Chain A
Amino acid sequence: MLQVKDLQVKLGDKEILKHIDLEIHPGETHILFGPNGSGKTSLLMTIMGYPQYRVTGGKIVFKGEDITDMPVDERAQLGIGVSYQRPPTIHGVKTRQMVQICAKGEVDAEALAEKVNFSEFMERDINAGFSGGEIKRSELLQLMAQDADLLLFDEPESGVDLENISLIGNAISNLLQRDFRVNAKKTQKEKREERTKMGLIITHTGFILDYVTADKGQVLYDGVLTCTSNPREIFRCISKVGYEECVRCAI
């Protein structure tokens, strides 16, 4: 379980997250909505442990352990993984190598790459000249190899062309154990009840909701987390009346 308790975060001198409370139980996936600059990416990066996001109050607990001051790599080893929106290029480090790093060596990189149609990129330097959609597929490939328990997705559908959106949506669904593939040994209900993976997905457009089911939706507005409800309902609300009206209760 992930518990974020009364979290306050500063970036430089600016307060960017204000008293955030969030709980994601094993098997749950949450959708995070919010306008540009509301602090969505900051929340993900703070959970991952990026040091420029300075926690000034509150705490983050994962699998019962207080990880508020834990370095990034230890959080990764504890089972937190992130799909970045704009990851850096690292020259001379191949995609294949990144997959092996994520999996700590033991992995059938080819088989994983095939799943996200990424085989031809394995010998390319990671993120070098990748298009929007290629970046997302590369990020998903790394997450599949990492096999994290809490998966953080930063706008996984942004910059993805129509041809690839279903591929990406379905890959996320699989990662979060939310696919509906028929399994002779287990019913869909059993599969649902046995889910362990936790997900937090930032979306701007809501397209991802066509592919991934979710338990809860929330809106982050100006650093304040509010409006917990059914994700589709929130999305409809934002589409019809805009963010400001949608979060009027909290502002």
Chain B
Amino acid sequence: MRYLEEKARQAQDKKAALGPDIDLDAYQSEPVSHDYVEDLSDLSKADKKQMLLAGIDAEETDRSGTFVQKDTAVLHAHSKQEGLEVIPIREALKQYNWVEDYYWKLVAVDTDKYTARAHLDLHNGYVIRALPGSKVVYPVQACLYLEKEGLSQNVHNIVIAEEGAELHVITGCAAAAHLRRGLHIGISEFYVKKGAKLSFTMIHHWAEGTMVRARSVGMVEEGGLFLNNYISMKPVKSVQMYPTTHLVGKGAVARFYSLLVGSPGAEMDVGGRIFLKEPDTRAEIVSRAITNGGKIIARGDLVGEVPRVKAHLECHGLILNGGSIHAIPELEGKVDGVEMSHEAAIGKIAQEEILYLMSRGLSEDEATATIVRGFLSVDIPGLPPQLKAEIDRAVEQSNKDMM
């Protein structure tokens, strides 16, 4: 821990490799106190409403556990199922020695000033763990909620699917509707052990003045599967993240799917990077980006380090109404015998498609909305129906906003 602290201190002023620099001193970081609620139904109506938009259901219907953090304070954390642990990370670090084996083991604490800040001034975050062999069929829901004006919310999350376990997590990041300025620094580390399956779906529902810097790294062991979905369709000022996953066991699989909508004024620099380090590993990165006036950089990087790996990257962009999309797909094959491909396309909605739908009776606006919805509807294999429904709902809502 002492060593981590030292490294973090050294990186305190280290600018990030990507994305506009943020002056951290412009945000306050003192803890904001909110009371813990035993019963989720005691949350305020406004909070509930905002959380629901990011996929968090206070009723906990078809959910196996819940974690809610508002600003710097944990409001609620519990697991409904045996074999599943949902613990605030500060408590976990204090109570369980094993947590240290996972804390800053994948993300380097001195990556940049944001990782440094997340360690030196950690507010909280969650540890979600599915014990060996346990199948957590319903998703665990986690919400990171930003309400305090001018706050930098510093969060560290660890998700572990132990050997043979199955775990689905939906994380909703949301800001209060009135929030004008806020910063979210989120560190995430994902451990998918031998034969385990983890799906992680993150829905961002920020506000126009929110800045987001996320640092996330995952590791998948032999025969493991990691599905990583990211949905951001609401206004945000600036998001920069480049989640990375290492496939370190034979036959490990990772799939990244992201759906991005860039509203006017938004700057999104979002990517995915997967290292294929063992034979028979497979990786797929699929992204759909629509700009409505925002600036989107969609990155993707696949690195094949050994023979007999398969990887594909697909990056499609649609410019609807001003704005820009910069697709940067990269493939690196380092040995003989890798099979890697990518396709990238940026365009506008074809007039021919609009007219085709209009000739079936839809108005021009309805036709456009139908095409946009189709563009964003990516079939994600292996996702439980509750999460599919959440994604469909986000797409539907975003469609309404755009039209």
Residues of A within 8 A of B (CB): 48-51, 71-73, 75-77, 81-82, 84, 87-88, 90-93, 97-98, 101-102, 104, 125, 142, 146
Contacts and interface: CB of A to CB of B under 8 A. Distances in A.
Contact of B361 (A97, A104, A125): A104
Given A71-B358, A146-B360, 4 more contacts: A73-B361, A93-B371, A101-B362, A146-B361
Contacts of A92: 373-378
Interface stretch (B71-79, B128-136, B241-249, B348-356): B348-356
B363 interface: yes
A90 B361 contact: no
B360 A88 contact: no
Contacts of A93: 370-371, 373-374
A48 B374 CA distance: 24
A72 B374 contact: no
A91 B353 CA distance: 10
A77 B358 CA distance: 10
A102 B356 CA distance: 11
A136 to B, nearest CB: 15
B323 to A, nearest CB: 21
A90 B362 contact: no
Interface residues of B, number: 22
Nearest to A143: B360
A98 B376 contact: no
B371 A90 contact: yes
B364 interface: yes
A90 B373 contact: no
B95 interface: no
A16 B371 CA distance: 31
30 contacts: A49-B359, A71-B358, A72-B359, A73-B361, A73-B364, A76-B358, A76-B359, A76-B360, A77-B361, A81-B360, A84-B356, A88-B350, A90-B353, A90-B357, A90-B370, A92-B375, A92-B376, A92-B378, A93-B371, A97-B370, A101-B357, A101-B360, A101-B361, A101-B370, A102-B360, A102-B361, A104-B361, A142-B360, A146-B360, A146-B361
A87 B356 contact: yes
Interface in B357-403: 357-364, 367, 370-371, 373-378
Given A73-B364, A93-B370, A93-B374, A88 B352 contact: yes
Contacts of A75: 359
B114 to A, nearest CB: 35
Q: Return the 3 tightest CB-CB contacts between A and B, nearest first.
A: A92-B374, A93-B374, A72-B358
A146 B361 CA distance: 8
Interface string B4-22: 0000000000000000000
Contact of A73 (B350, B352, B362): B362
A8 B75 CA distance: 71
Nearest to A50: B355
Interface string B268-312: 000000000000000000000000000000000000000000000
Contacts of B363: 73
A82 B359 contact: yes
Contacts of A51: 355
**Most A CB atoms within 10 A — which of B355, B359, B367, B378?**
B359
**Most B CB atoms within 10 A — which of A72, A76, A88, A91?**
A72
**Most A CB atoms within 10 A — which of B353, B355, B360?**
B360
A90 B356 contact: yes
Contacts of A102: 360-361
Contacts of B364: 71, 73
A194 to B, nearest CB: 26
A91 B357 CA distance: 13
A93 B357 CA distance: 10
Given A88-B350, A88-B352, A90-B353, A73 B373 contact: no
A102 B377 CA distance: 21
B399 to A, nearest CB: 12
A85 to B, nearest CB: 12
Contacts of A125: 374
A146 B358 CA distance: 12
Nearest to A100: B360
Contacts of A50: 355
Contacts of A71: 358, 364
